[in-house]
């Protein structure tokens, strides 16, 4: 790769398009003071990305644009275009030439392009770093800047040497890595904050989901238990009803037969009574006993209804008391809270307040819905009183029935003792009544069982309704449930135990219910996925941070190794050049280390926003480079004791030593030989020729000795118009001019 040409248009004093082609290892640019020849060096700085307008001898971007002179109107923009040969692929682009152009407009806006394509400044900088080229540094040295490396602080001098050694790319990568690491740490903090923000909500949702899962488990248990219970209960009730019907059928048939016989016997007695005009006590007794029995049966049925109502109210009471023993989702009346607040406001010590709250919680923990509980208890009391009244009536009816039975037995006994055939009809009535009473007793026993069965059926249906409403219709699909147990032989206590378990599960499900379970599950899934995503992102960021730390450490180690090796090589060249220039003596670079407060260093580097983070007593070691010189035949040990010429030669020796160790593609020397006498100019010229074997040189000079080393000379002139113009002189002409 080598520098082919540079084009200036509207840049400073170059109003019109001016092109300089560099087809020689050494090119020279000459001209009188004020002609604008140094503008060429500044044009190089400009096109290579220099951002300091001050270093380009301006205050703002507009100062770089031709402002009009000699009849030429001012330009609206300034452009500089530099062309590099890229056949050796130094630049990582697939072009034989690389053309970089920069344009500045009067509004201060800058445009950059590579081979005609618009790019960012960053892209230009990164491309140039591949070839060890920068906007400023050791390869563009303007008049007066040769001494800059001597006047610089040890820290600044170290930075210059690092740049010259080609370590800028590593430093750039390190700074980029450090910026990325800082950004990564910021992202880590942000992600951790996001996780911290959603953690309480996620924890709450997790508890809700655990409740839902527990509910689902309880629902499954309830469904399975309910199916088992429902199947057995359904079979028991169905079979019991069937058996009751089978038991009642022959009794009903026999009662119907006896009823017909009784009716026939009554008719006979009634007809005889009419003929004989006398009353038969047996007819009156039978009628009276029948009436008492009907009344007693009605009372027994009414008693059953009252007892059923008592059971229903007692279920409500049991449920309220079971709810009272559960802690979750217990509701407390606002009035109770307000009363508690009034009470604790009057208490003196915090201990008293805690004790009062503890007592309140205890009272609320074991309390139920008082209104529901009171209403149910009141209803039970009233129903019990009604039951007692009915039982008294049944007792009275029973006593009356017993008295009638006594009369019945006495009358029956008297008639049976008589041998009169006329009493056969009465005897038949007694026989029929006796058989009927026996059958009715059996029938009443069956009816009593049916009443119990009816209650069990009602309870069974109510249980199905409640369970179905709580866990869905799946619990009601119990018909296919199979069992090897004889249902009627099964101990009813087993079913009662199942029923109690079902009741407990129902209470627990009602108590632990989560409103909007579908929405809770969806929200938990979304928040969990968000948290998992953040956790993965945090893990990736941690890995990225570790990778960047490793990269920064590797780059620092590489920089340290390359810097140490570079200093050793520079010192070798520097010592030899210095000795050659001064006829002996020695010069070398020395690494210095100074301890400074971290806050002070941050202020020096402009990191004011970070100063507060630095501890007052925190120190860091700041490295720099000092220059030790030892002139022959003089007791001079430091730079401050050198004369102007000695300083110029020392700076040139150091700059040339740096360039010899790590030669840049090209070097621009802007009147760095101005302070040299004739003898030193020849030494300078020899060094230039030696240096041109490694780097392409562009010399801006007044020195004839220096000009004589050039293969092509460009002359810059400026007449009264104030516009710089170019003239080129071939090598043969250059020799004549030099003479």
**CA torsion sign, 605 to 608 to 609 to 614?**
positive
Q: What is the mean pLDDT of residues 560-576?
A: 92
* pLDDT tens, residue by residue, 37-52: 889 999 999 999 988 8
Edge-to-edge strand order for the sheet containing 110-114? 18-21, 2-9, 77-85, 97-105, 110-114, 117-119
User: Residue 376: pLDDT band by 50, 70, 90 thresholds?
Assistant: confident
Q: What is the mean pLDDT of residues 724-733?
A: 76
Distance CA 36, CA 11 (A): 10
Q: What is the mean pLDDT of residues 361-379?
A: 71
Distance CA 453, CA 326 (A): 33
Report whether pLDDT(137) > 70: no
Percent of the chain with pLDDT over 70: 84
Report whether pLDDT(220) > 70: yes
Does residue 41 sit within a domain?
yes
Does residue 308 sit within a domain?
no
Can you spell out the DSSP letters for 195-225? HHHHHHHHHHHHHHHHHHHHHHHHHHHHHHH
Does residue 306 sit within a domain?
no
Report whether pLDDT(642) > 50: yes
Does residue 105 sit within a domain?
yes
Report whether pLDDT(168) > 80: no
Beta-sheet pairing, 140-141 with 117-119: unpaired
Distance CA 171, CA 163 (A): 9
Distance CA 667, CA 658 (A): 12
- Bridge partners (DSSP) of residue 65 are 11
Q: Is 312 exposed, middle or buried (0-12, 13-18, 19+ CB in 10 A)?
A: middle
Instruction: Specify the CATH number for the domain of residue 736.
Output: 3.40.50.300
Q: What is the mean pLDDT of residues 678-699?
A: 88
What pLDDT does 279 receive? 47
- The rounded Cα 2 to chain-centroid distance in angstroms is 53
Beta-sheet pairing, 696-700 with 26-30: parallel
* CB-based contact 169:162 (threshold 8 Å): no
Distance CA 427, CA 418 (A): 10
User: Residue 79: pLDDT band by 50, 70, 90 thresholds?
Assistant: very high
* CB-based contact 707:36 (threshold 8 Å): no
Which is more confident, 440 or 274? 440
Percent of the chain with pLDDT over 90: 24
For residue 81, CA distances in Å to 39, 98, 488, 717 come to 14, 10, 108, 21
Distance CA 176, CA 182 (A): 10
Distance CA 68, CA 434 (A): 146
Place of tokens 């488990």: 217
What pLDDT does 644 receive? 76
Does residue 687 sit within a domain?
yes
Report whether pLDDT(500) > 80: yes
* pLDDT tens, residue by residue, 245-297: 888 888 888 888 887 877 777 777 666 665 554 445 666 676 777 788 778 77
Q: Is 134 exposed, middle or buried (0-12, 13-18, 19+ CB in 10 A)?
A: buried
What pLDDT does 546 receive? 93
What pLDDT does 123 receive? 92
* CB-based contact 110:615 (threshold 8 Å): no
Report whether pLDDT(327) > 60: no
What pLDDT does 332 receive? 64
Half-sphere exposure of 637 (CA within 13 A, CB side): 1
What pLDDT does 739 receive? 53
Report whether pLDDT(421) > 60: no
Count of domains for the chain: 1
What pLDDT does 277 receive? 45
Angle at 581 between CA 575 and CA 585, to 5 degrees: 50
State the residue range of the domain holding 734.
1-139+666-739
**Backbone angle region of 132, left / alpha / beta, with phi > 0 → left and psi within -120 to 50 → alpha:** left
SS (H, E, C) 298-350: HHHHHHHHHHHHHHHHHHHHHHHHHHHCCCCCCCCCHHHHHHHHHHHHCCCCH
Q: What is the mean pLDDT of residues 165-177?
A: 83
Report whether pLDDT(190) > 90: yes
- The rounded Cα 660 to chain-centroid distance in angstroms is 56
For residues 670-703, one letter each, b for 16 or more C-beta atoms within 10 angstroms of the residue's C-beta and e for the rest, the string is bbbbebbeeebbebbbebbeebbebbbbbbbbeb
User: Residue 325: pLDDT band by 50, 70, 90 thresholds?
Assistant: low
* pLDDT tens, residue by residue, 84-102: 999 988 898 889 999 999 9
* CB-based contact 615:598 (threshold 8 Å): yes
For residue 131, CA distances in Å to 3, 99, 112, 175, 666 come to 11, 14, 18, 19, 10
Does residue 91 sit within a domain?
yes
Start-end of H helices in 64-152: 121-129, 148-151
Task: State the average pLDDT for the chain.
Answer: 82
Mean pLDDT is lowest, of 60-69, 112-121, 144-153, 272-281, for: 272-281
SS (H, E, C) 107-122: CCCEEEEECCEEECHH
């Amino acid at each position: 790769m080598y520098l082919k040409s540079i084009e200036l248009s509207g840049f400073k004093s170059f109003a019109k398009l001016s092109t300089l082609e560099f087809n020689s290892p050494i090119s020279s640019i000459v001209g009188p003071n004020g002609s604008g020849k140094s503008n060429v060096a500044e044009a190089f700085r400009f096109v290579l990305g220099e951002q300091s307008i001050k270093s380009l001898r301006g205050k703002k971007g507009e100062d770089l644009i031709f402002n009009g002179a000699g009849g030429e109107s001012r330009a609206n923009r300034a452009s500089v275009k530099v062309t590099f040969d890229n056949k050796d692929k130094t630049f990582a682009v697939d072009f034989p030439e690389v053309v970089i152009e920069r344009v500045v407009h009067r509004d201060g806006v800058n445009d950059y392009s590579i081979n005609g394509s618009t790019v960012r400044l960053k892209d230009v900088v990164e491309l140039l770093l591949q070839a060890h080229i920068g906007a400023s540094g050791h390869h563009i040295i303007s008049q007066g800047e040769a001494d800059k490396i001597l006047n610089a602080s040890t820290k600044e001098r170290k930075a210059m040497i690092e740049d010259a050694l080609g370590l800028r790319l590593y430093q750039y990568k390190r700074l980029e890595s450090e910026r990325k690491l800082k950004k990564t740490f910021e992202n880590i903090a942000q992600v951790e904050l996001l996780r911290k923000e959603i953690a309480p909500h996620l924890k709450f949702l997790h508890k809700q989901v655990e409740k839902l899962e527990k509910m689902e488990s309880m629902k499954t248990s309830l469904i399975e238990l309910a199916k088992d219970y429902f199947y057995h209960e359904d079979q028991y009730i169905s079979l019991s009803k069937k058996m009751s019907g089978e038991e009642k059928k022959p009794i009903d048939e026999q009662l119907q037969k006896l009823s017909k016989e009784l009716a026939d016997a009554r008719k006979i007695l009634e007809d005889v009574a009419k003929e004989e005009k006398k009353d038969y006590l047996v007819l009156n007794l039978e009628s009276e006993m029948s009436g008492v029995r009907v009344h007693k049966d009605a009372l027994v049925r009414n008693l059953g209804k009252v007892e059923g109502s008592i059971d229903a109210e007692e279920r409500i009471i049991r449920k309220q008391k079971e709810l009272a023993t559960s802690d979750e989702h217990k509701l407390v009346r606002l009035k109770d809270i307000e009363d508690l607040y009034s009470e604790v406001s009057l208490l003196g010590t915090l201990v008293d307040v805690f004790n009062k709250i503890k007592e309140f919680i205890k009272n609320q923990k074991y309390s139920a819905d008082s209104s529901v509980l009171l209403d149910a208890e009141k209803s039970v009391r009233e129903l019990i009183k009604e039951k007692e009244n009915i039982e008294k009536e049944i007792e009275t009816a029973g006593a009356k029935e017993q008295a009638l039975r006594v009369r019945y037995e006495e009358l029956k006994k008297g008639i049976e003792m008589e041998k009169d055939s006329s009493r056969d009809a009465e005897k038949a009535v007694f026989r029929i009544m006796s058989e009927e009473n026996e059958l009715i007793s059996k029938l009443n026993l069956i009816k009593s069982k049916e009443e119990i069965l009816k209650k069990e059926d009602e309870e069974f249906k109510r249980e199905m309704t409640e369970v179905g409403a709580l866990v869905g219709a799946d619990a009601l699909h119990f018909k296919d449930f199979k069992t090897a147990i004889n249902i009627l032989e099964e101990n009813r206590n087993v079913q009662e135990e199942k029923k109690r378990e079902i009741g407990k599960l129902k209470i627990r499900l009602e108590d632990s219910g989560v409103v909007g379970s579908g929405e809770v599950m969806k929200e938990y899934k979304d928040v969990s996925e968000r948290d998992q995503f953040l956790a993965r992102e945090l893990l990736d960021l941690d890995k990225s941070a570790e990778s960047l730390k490793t990269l920064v450490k590797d780059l620092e180690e590489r920089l340290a190794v390359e810097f140490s090796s570079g200093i050793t090589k520079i010192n070798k060249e520097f010592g030899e050049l210095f000795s050659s220039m001064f006829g002996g003596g020695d010069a070398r670079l020395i690494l210095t280390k100074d301890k400074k407060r971290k806050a002070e260093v941050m202020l020096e580097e402009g990191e004011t926003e970070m100063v507060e983070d630095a501890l007052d007593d925190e120190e860091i070691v700041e490295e720099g480079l000092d220059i030790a010189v030892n002139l022959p035949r003089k007791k001079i040990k430091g730079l401050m004791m050198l004369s102007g010429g000695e300083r110029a030669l020392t700076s040139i020796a150091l700059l040339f030593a740096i360039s010899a160790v790590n030669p840049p593609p090209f070097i621009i020397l802007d009147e760095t030989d101005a302070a040299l006498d004739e003898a030193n100019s020849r030494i300078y010229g020899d060094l230039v020729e030696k240096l041109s074997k490694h780097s392409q040189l562009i010399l801006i000079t007044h020195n004839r000795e220096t000009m004589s080393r050039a293969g092509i000379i460009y002359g810059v002139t400026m007449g009264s118009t104030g516009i710089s113009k170019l003239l080129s002189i071939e090598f043969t002409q250059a020799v004549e001019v030099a003479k």
